[in-house]
Structure 1
Amino acid sequence: MNRGIETDGAVAEQAASGRIPLAVVVVDREGLVSHWSSGARRLFGAAKEEAIGYPAVDLLPVSGALPEDDDVSPYGAYAAYDGLGHDLESSLDGRLYYPAAGRARLTVPERERVDVLWWAYPLVGPGPERLLVLGADVGRLQEDAREQRGTDRHRDTGYERVAPGFALHTDFPGADELARGLPEILPSMSVDESARIVGQILELGYPVLEFSQNDRVPVTPDWGVPRRVERRARRERAARAAAQGLPSAQDDPDEAEDLEYAAVRERLEFLNEVSGRIGTSLDLSRTIVEVSKAVVPRFTDVAGTYLREQVVAGEGFPEGVPDTTTMWHRVALEHTDEPGRWDDVVPVGEAMPFPAHTPFFQCMTTGDPVLVPRISEGMGHAIASQFEKRDIRPLITGRSMLVVPLKARDVVLGFMILLRHPERPVFNDMDRVTGAELAARAGLVLDNARMYTYQESVAETLQDSMLPHIPPRMAGCDIATRYLPGTLLGRVGGDWFDSVKLPGARTALVVGDVMGHGLNSAAMMGQLRTAVQTMAALDLPPARLLRNLDDLAQRLGDTYLATCLYAVYDPIASELHIANAGHIPPVLVRADGGHSELLDLPTGAPIGVGGVPFEAVRVRVEPGDRIVMCTDGLVEVRGEDIGVGLATLCESAAHPAASMDDACDTIIRALAVTFSEAGRGGRKDDVALLMARLNGIAPQDVAEWRLALDPVEVGRARAVVREQLHDWGLERLADSAELMVSELVTNALRHSHSRPVELRLVRGDTLLCEVDDDDHDLPTLLNAGPADESGRGLRVVSVLAREWGTSRTATGKAVWFELTLPRR
């Protein structure tokens, strides 16, 4: 490095370190200025309002753009001066594909010629920005350095040779300082955009000052903004001056820059604060309310949030660009006006499309913020026209409006309408950028909530489709069920209940709980429930069924664990046959005396552990007894002894109730109150509850016969059935029952091997007829041709019966049918 530079004073040292004020300009793809910093205002003489949206070639020192003596623009005349590299005029015209630098002199009214260095970077990626230009007043830097050195203008030739250049950032450790500081002079950019631009600058080449062919100094921006302590002292001086009636320094350009810097800092702090307040929950409704409350009243006075119909409905990701037929739901409205002023005119929950002439349509189709400084009478009338008879004009006319899109993955999920009172400052360009950044963060949070809501909806739909719709009455018993989803994240779980009709008028009662939550648990629950249904239809004993279910779970994967309680109720024998696989025991409520007890069952290991035997017990019951089977989510809360929940379950199950449904609700309320009073915050896990009243079937409602393996027994079967139905007062069913019994007994006699055929009639809510034999092959329904002599028996049964079926038994098979009892 030049030895003379190293020995200079403070200003020369500033030059040597490359810490110089910079003008920052961003040019969009149309060649128009999209950002104009306060440094650009001081260097080029144009105010921000006079630069944004105007062609860059009319504002920047372009090499060879204007002859020095020809037309002079309002911002000064430009002349070529020692251009380096690719000239900036080409850059602005869109032919720049690599970083370029140059030097120009600018003549500004009431100022001497300004010696300007510039660096231009092509920008790639999403967004309208195409070119970043950095400018520096090197002439002033040279003069300050000479004054410090005590030299005249012509003695130091080193500084006359100063020129802009580039170097890889690895050559200079000061690159980190530029990376930290550059986003602060890009207030019109979002955080992601500024980070992307800084990354491109460091990759393309670090801006440097070249004092000779070999000496280069890295450029580090000097914002010219006083430190926080100095800014506080300046505000105190201004306050004292105002108190003494002295003139204020607010018109000072440096003070204006200080205020701009403070405004940027304030917006960043606001965005940081909002980011911390939103997204505390994955609940879509709560997230929407958080976003609305975060901006009112600090940023706006009214905030209305609209979401697309698919988002509100919890459906998949909305596809396609919105149009005039897209329905938008008003999901939140926060304001500082008097209560009720907005509620009747724009109620939350309303859905409507938006015409193409509205700023809302422009926002949702372009995905860009729309700023309306003041809503005119005409625009207010156009907006109000879609509200039919409700006059919204007094609420919006004269207010400043900003419409910002809520986007995720470049898809507009919704938008926010922000309004300020007429007496409040209108939204400006910085507000537009702040609102866009706020909406971008809110859009991501909403998308996370939407995705969670959608996945939760899928899981709930899956679970609901797998939970059975159990009829309230089965043979000899009444059943009531409840399923309650959990209240924690991923609340969809693997709890299930079921009932299966078995041969002999028996009913299987099942309650299970897959460990874990979410789609995997719900899917495993569906697999296990289907397996239980299939094995129950084979009439497997409870212990054998759980053994087979355990084997299946191990084949599905070593992470599949579940508890299960399987009980078979025989209403004729008045008996429960129960086996347990790691589940909490059921409660049996005795009809005689109304007392309740936890059944003492062998606990067993959960399904999926493997290698553990299962045992079954038989429990005698009486007509009117009730059995209550539930999952642990009802009786267990983290940090509380499960014994408390089980005791409450027994006590509440014994309470008399008008109906089975009322009895279930009594149990749930009692458990909720118990844990709430214990300060445990209530239930978190999902709950499956099944209650069955064991009514039994009286002996006089059951008739059984054993038929020898002789074809003449078919006639006897018809006769006994007709006689029994006459005794029961069911003569109107005799003809159909006699015909179907004849077909089933004939088939049974034909396929039986050695054991007599058993015929049973059971009178309950329906008339049940069962025919058992010792053949294990189940019959199938056939289509008999005109010349076939057999194959029509089951076809007759399927036509005449209310319901019919077949199932395997321990000794063979059973074929059964039901007939609806006639009304009395």
Structure 2
Amino acid sequence: MDRGTERSDPPHGGAAAGRIPLAVVVVDRAGLVSHWSRGARRLFGTAREEAVGRPVVDLLPVSGAFPEDEETAPYGAYAAYDGLGPDLESSLDGRLFYPAAGRARLTAADNDRIDVLWWAYPLVGPGTERLLVLAADAGALRAEGTGTSGAGAAVERIAPGFALHTDFPGAEDLARGLPEILPSMSVGESARIVSQVLELGYPVLEFSQNDRVPVTPDWGVPRRSERTARRQRAAAAALSGEPLPPDAEDEAQDLEYVAVRERLEFLNEVSGRIGTSLDLSRTIVEVSRAVVPRFTDVAGTYLREQVVAGEGFSDGVPDTTTMWHRVALEHTDEPGRWDDVVPVGEAMPFPAHTPFFQCMTTGEPVLVPRISEQMGHMIAAQFEKRDIRPLITGRSMLVVPLKARHVVLGFMILLRHPERVEFNDMDRVTGAELAARAGLVLDNARMYMYQESVAETLQDSMLPHIAPRMSGCDIATRYLPGTLLGRVGGDWFDSVKLPGSRTALVVGDVMGHGLNSAAMMGQLRTAVQTMAALDLPPAQLLRNLDDLAQRLGEHYLATCLYAIYDPIASELEIANAGHIPPVVVRAENGRSDLLDLPTGAPIGVGGVPFESVRVRVAPGDRLVMCTDGLVEVRGEDIGVGLATLCESAAHPAASMDAACDTIIRALNTRGGRKDDVALLLARLNGIEPEDVAEWRIGHDPREAGRARAAVREQLHEWGLDSVADTAELLVSELVTNAVRHSHSRPVDLRLVRGDTLLCEVADDDHTLPTLLSAGRLDEFGRGLRVVSTLAHEWGTSRTGSGKTVWYELTLPRR
């Protein structure tokens, strides 16, 4: 006990709970002292600097608690306790008799022989600490008359012992006091050690077989009431010129140590609670909740508008036009009291005369001990039609900046209830440190969100937005990034409109990940688009793409699958460059099969030929093209993924999007996928023969009239008289030009009825027509201008035998 006995109702044979000054020593795995408290310095007379790092057997009389076998390395036996679990007593096999306690007399520096009581606890778990030793001066206890009820001024028998802390009333209060004796460490570490001490047995003083006093640790730090009284006595002594009371310097150091330790533990606890994710919204909530109610009663968090939007911003100092978003508000008041007055999500600037503006421009905390009525009125002036004064007047306020890399991202307004102690300078320092840590966490989340937005924008700009309906087919696509931290990659898909109502379908995969692969993917995709417009056969296109990749660099490697679908001929022409084969699902029986294609070599290898394969399809068949990231899993044969792809592709679905989702669900649920995924699904609807009309036109200029008549008659048959005049005029222009420029072959004219009316005119001249600006007196150059003006869409392309000029007209809704 500390200068007398603290008495309570005597439990268990009259034992009274007491507080005694304790020396605290922690020993590491090597048997060396790692912590030496001030209480140990007072008891043993050895300074901390001299004790830490020395063998504990040279300083403490607890040799019975250590292995005495010379051949055993110091504390080698403690390694046996690692990982034994919570039931420590089951591991005490009688060799060391833990927990151990004893009493000894020894000679200490600057003291006569002292009578020492000690308790030793083995520590298990992570960290280097392996033994906790508590010690007390038995002589001082005897002199002060420590004892049980009925004991006299002197006590004949005092011995250290152990008892379960549940043996005493108020055991939870005793347990809460136990962490005070531990060295400065994290809250989690303290809790781990306390749990072990309590399980092994609470330290007690035994006065007889029936009387035991549970030890409430006291290592020289007075309680709050005692602290205040001693501070007052020390201040009075200083004013009167009298010498300071005994141990006043040590007490002041202890008080300062405890205050700093409490702040550090609070900051350590807050640091462990914030930044658990890179989601900005979640991080904001974590920061706000971390300080309420332990540090403050109200916490409002404001961030720059650009931070909330995930944008970059200049490093300049904020001004009165800077908009600040209220992103979080935590408080201990009754629910709803703040919600209507200061709702989350509101944005506002702050005038220059407010403490908030001072905080955001200087980047330093602003402390207002109490908000006066005048300041409350000044702050409330910016809240239109809302009186905030009752919520803030009389409260203590601390405004701390949230900054990172010398840039103010936002600030927190912290308020305490009027009845709570006001913020002081130490709170200002604590708040600044808290805000600095929170600012870094928020900046990390902001930068991640910004980079994620940039990556998504880049990927979206590189991946095409494919129309769900093309001529004779429906298309659905999916793209999945390989990792959440890198949403750009080298996988891509595409579709290209070709002459003759055909559609090119492309899926490719650049080897590698990240921006380099995405940049290469953009180049290859652009090249495929350009060469597809030239109507190159699939094998020739891949040949040209391979040549391009080799010119771009030796590290440019990619796989690619290129298919041309002809809905009129009901045929696919496909070439493969090292890609996984596509799947065709037959509408007739629902069977799905991998197409047997020549594999080819990846784009960029060079010197390897590519082959095209023609595959007959029927209306309603589905073509599935994907990258290997969907079917390949680390440690699993790719055949398993391909089999799952075939099975899931054959599953009936209500729509193309639903079919894509079915495939993704079937294959993406398997663990281990790290690669990007590109998926293209096409339903090959075909074009019925009755929706196609074809004519062959001779070289006589008068044939243009016959073409006009044939088109008008066909449109009447199809019930499209509303577009007959425009179609007839445009056909006349295209056929006249084709007859004029063709050489020997007849001109081919074709009409295709689908979602639009497609008209194609083909001849054997390889020169593509261009759009000209004709003057008033020019005889030629107006034909394509008319086509460009009246057609919904038009274009030209080269073919193997010449060129094709086409246009489309929008059809009325049926």
Q: What residue in structure 1 maps to residue 254 of structure 2? A: 258
The 8 Å contact of residues 624 and 695 in structure 1, kept in 2 or not, is answered as yes
> Are 2:747 and 1:765 aligned?
no
> Are 2:701 and 1:701 aligned?
no
Q: What residue in structure 2 maps to residue 431 of structure 1? A: 427
In structure 2, C-alpha distance between the alignment counterparts of 1:347 and 1:458, rounded to whole Å: 30
Match of 1:555 among 522, 528, 551: 551
Q: How does 1:167-566 map to 2 (within 5 A)?
A: 236=218, 238=220, 251=234, 252-268=248-264, 270-271=266-267, 274-275=270-271, 278-336=274-332, 342-388=338-384, 392-393=388-389, 395-485=391-481, 487-566=483-562
Q: What residue in structure 1 maps to residue 661 of structure 2? A: 665
- C-alpha change, 1:443 and 1:515, in structure 2 (3 Å) is farther
Shift of 1:271: 4.1
> Are 2:742 and 1:752 aligned?
yes
Shift of 1:392: 4.4
In structure 1, C-alpha distance between the alignment counterparts of 2:219 and 2:729, rounded to whole Å: 110
Q: How does 1:2-81 map to 2 (within 5 A)?
A: none
In structure 1, C-alpha distance between the alignment counterparts of 2:298 and 2:339, rounded to whole Å: 12
Shift of 1:328: 1.1
The 8 Å contact of residues 220 and 251 in structure 2, kept in 1 or not, is answered as no
1:720-770 C-alpha deviation (Å, 9 max, x unpaired) = 333333333333433332332222222223322333322222122222111
Q: What residue in structure 1 maps to residue 765 of structure 2? A: 775
Q: What residue in structure 2 maps to residue 185 of structure 1? A: none
Q: What residue in structure 1 maps to residue 797 of structure 2? A: 807
Shift of 1:509: 1.3
- C-alpha change, 1:243 and 1:279, in structure 2 (3 Å) is closer
The 8 Å contact of residues 488 and 684 in structure 1, kept in 2 or not, is answered as no
In structure 2, C-alpha distance between the alignment counterparts of 1:244 and 1:762, rounded to whole Å: 98
In structure 1, C-alpha distance between the alignment counterparts of 2:588 and 2:396, rounded to whole Å: 76
In structure 2, C-alpha distance between the alignment counterparts of 1:391 and 1:644, rounded to whole Å: 67
> Are 2:607 and 1:617 aligned?
no
1:579-601 C-alpha deviation (Å, 9 max, x unpaired) = 22333333322211223233333
In structure 2, C-alpha distance between the alignment counterparts of 1:413 and 1:538, rounded to whole Å: 52
Shift of 1:379: 3.3
In structure 2, C-alpha distance between the alignment counterparts of 1:257 and 1:456, rounded to whole Å: 50
SS at match of 1:504: coil
Q: Which amino acid aligns with 2:627?
A: T
In structure 1, C-alpha distance between the alignment counterparts of 2:518 and 2:342, rounded to whole Å: 40
Comparing 537-546 with 296-305, greater Cα deviation is found at 296-305
Match of 2:715 among 725, 730, 749: 725
1:275-306 C-alpha deviation (Å, 9 max, x unpaired) = 55544544333433443344444443433321
SS at match of 1:668: helix
In structure 2, C-alpha distance between the alignment counterparts of 1:727 and 1:242, rounded to whole Å: 101
1:384-441 C-alpha deviation (Å, 9 max, x unpaired) = 4444455545544443322111223432111122233445433221221222233223
In structure 1, C-alpha distance between the alignment counterparts of 2:377 and 2:514, rounded to whole Å: 50
Match of 1:688 among 671, 678, 685: 678
- C-alpha change, 1:243 and 1:750, in structure 2 (3 Å) is closer
The 8 Å contact of residues 462 and 523 in structure 1, kept in 2 or not, is answered as no
Comparing 466-475 with 690-699, greater Cα deviation is found at 466-475
SS at match of 1:718: helix
Shift of 1:339: 5.7
Shift of 1:327: 1.5
Match of 2:622 among 626, 638, 643: 626
The 8 Å contact of residues 455 and 487 in structure 2, kept in 1 or not, is answered as no
In structure 2, C-alpha distance between the alignment counterparts of 1:714 and 1:525, rounded to whole Å: 46
- C-alpha change, 1:787 and 1:618, in structure 2 (3 Å) is same
Q: What residue in structure 1 maps to residue 701 of structure 2? A: 711
In structure 2, C-alpha distance between the alignment counterparts of 1:229 and 1:447, rounded to whole Å: 33
The 8 Å contact of residues 220 and 254 in structure 2, kept in 1 or not, is answered as no
SS at match of 2:654: coil
In structure 1, C-alpha distance between the alignment counterparts of 2:391 and 2:225, rounded to whole Å: 40
How large is the RMSD of aligned CA atoms in angstroms?
Answer: 3.5
The 8 Å contact of residues 271 and 438 in structure 1, kept in 2 or not, is answered as yes
In structure 2, C-alpha distance between the alignment counterparts of 1:821 and 1:731, rounded to whole Å: 10
SS at match of 1:315: coil
SS at match of 1:805: strand
1:555-592 C-alpha deviation (Å, 9 max, x unpaired) = 33334333322211100110111222333333322211
Uncovered stretches (5+) of structure 2, i.e. residues with no partner:
1-180, 185-189, 191-214, 235-247
> Are 2:731 and 1:741 aligned?
yes
TM-score (norm 2): 0.66
Q: Which amino acid aligns with 2:501?
A: A
TM-score (norm 1): 0.65
In structure 2, C-alpha distance between the alignment counterparts of 1:490 and 1:437, rounded to whole Å: 32
Q: What residue in structure 1 maps to residue 595 of structure 2? A: 599
- C-alpha change, 1:555 and 1:337, in structure 2 (3 Å) is farther
Q: Which amino acid aligns with 2:407?
A: V
SS at match of 2:500: helix
In structure 2, C-alpha distance between the alignment counterparts of 1:572 and 1:770, rounded to whole Å: 14
Comparing 286-295 with 407-416, greater Cα deviation is found at 286-295
In structure 2, C-alpha distance between the alignment counterparts of 1:242 and 1:280, rounded to whole Å: 35
- C-alpha change, 1:348 and 1:628, in structure 2 (3 Å) is farther
- C-alpha change, 1:610 and 1:394, in structure 2 (3 Å) is farther
The 8 Å contact of residues 468 and 498 in structure 1, kept in 2 or not, is answered as yes
In structure 1, C-alpha distance between the alignment counterparts of 2:460 and 2:705, rounded to whole Å: 49
The 8 Å contact of residues 543 and 579 in structure 1, kept in 2 or not, is answered as yes
Shift of 1:307: 0.8
Comparing 651-660 with 775-784, greater Cα deviation is found at 651-660
The 8 Å contact of residues 488 and 685 in structure 1, kept in 2 or not, is answered as no
SS at match of 2:296: coil
In structure 1, C-alpha distance between the alignment counterparts of 2:781 and 2:682, rounded to whole Å: 40
- C-alpha change, 1:612 and 1:380, in structure 2 (3 Å) is farther
- C-alpha change, 1:812 and 1:286, in structure 2 (3 Å) is same
Q: Which amino acid aligns with 2:490?
A: G
SS at match of 1:769: strand
Shift of 1:383: 3.3
- C-alpha change, 1:621 and 1:747, in structure 2 (3 Å) is same
Identity of counterpart residues, as a percentage?
Answer: 85
Match of 1:649 among 638, 645, 648: 645
- C-alpha change, 1:749 and 1:263, in structure 2 (3 Å) is same
In structure 2, C-alpha distance between the alignment counterparts of 1:401 and 1:242, rounded to whole Å: 25
The 8 Å contact of residues 455 and 486 in structure 2, kept in 1 or not, is answered as no
SS at match of 2:769: coil
Q: Which amino acid aligns with 1:813?
A: K
The 8 Å contact of residues 310 and 318 in structure 1, kept in 2 or not, is answered as no
- C-alpha change, 1:749 and 1:270, in structure 2 (3 Å) is same
Shift of 1:508: 0.8
In structure 1, C-alpha distance between the alignment counterparts of 2:482 and 2:547, rounded to whole Å: 29
